[in-house]
Amino acid sequence: MFFRITVSIIHFLLWIFNGTIDVQGKEHLPEDDTYVLIAPHRSLLDPVFIVIAAAPREFTVMAKAELFENALFGWFIRKLNAFPVDRENPGPSAIKTPVKALKNTNKSFLIFPSGTRHSTDLKGGAVTIAKMSKKPIVPAYYDGPLTFKELFLRKKARVRFGQPFIVERKLDGVKDITAHYNDHIQAAFDQLAQDIQPKK
């Protein structure tokens, strides 16, 4: 409830300052099951727009441990289904927590497999979580304001969702499953970036 109310409030504020979000391909989002939602990470704003575009689905998300050091802010983001991860030493909980949520709750999992902003190196976390949870991966792409200045200048925001796919534990002729699906993810991002465009 807290998650949905907060998302609704932020959505209303963004509508005031930036207008309506152009959401494309929402029919690809599974309605009756949880999933792993992945997207490139280039700004503090892209996860906000992506979560709003996927509403009313709730998400679990990992956040760097330092964000939880402030008691009040830590409480707030925990209420938004965030859990702390040590970036230097992630530990088993970085995988086990989202897998458990995907299997045992109605919350999907949002992850940016490039890890840090402006990085193009995919990480294996999203693939491992999808494989262990047996849930589909849905690629997404955000095109819109990357700064608050662009937000207030009403640069158009668009979110496009791609086709979901299942991570298989084994594939004939494939030795490195993680590398194979990392290539698949990057190809999906590239295609979404090419396809995203204004609705006519």
Give per-residue pLDDT as tens, 20-29. Answer: 999 999 999 9
Q: How big, in percent rounded to 5, are the helix, strand and coil portions of the chain?
A: 45, 15, 40
- Separation CA 198–CA 200 (nearest Å): 6
Split at pLDDT 50, 70, 90, the class of 42 is confident
CB 140 within 8 A of CB 164: no
Our measurement of the distance from residue 81's CA atom to the centroid of its chain's CA atoms, rounded to an integer in Å, reads 13
Which residue type sits at 84?
Answer: P
Percent of the chain beyond pLDDT 90?
66
Q: Domain of 66: which CATH number?
A: 3.40.1130.10
What is the number of residues in the chain? Answer: 200
* Residue 6 forms part of a structural domain: yes
Name the DSSP letter for residue 80.
T
* Residue 96 forms part of a structural domain: yes
Residue that wins the pLDDT comparison between 187 and 118: 187
User: Quick one: pLDDT at residue 123?
Assistant: 62
Number of domains in the chain: 1
User: Quick one: pLDDT at residue 117?
Assistant: 44
The pLDDT of residue 169 is above 50: yes
* Residue 200 forms part of a structural domain: no
Q: Determine the average pLDDT of the residues in 119-145.
A: 85
* Residue 45 forms part of a structural domain: yes
What token pair was written down for 114?
């490039």
* Residue 7 forms part of a structural domain: yes
Where in the sequence is the domain holding 15, given as residue range(s)? 1-195
Split at pLDDT 50, 70, 90, the class of 48 is very high
CB 83 within 8 A of CB 64: no
- Separation CA 83–CA 52 (nearest Å): 20
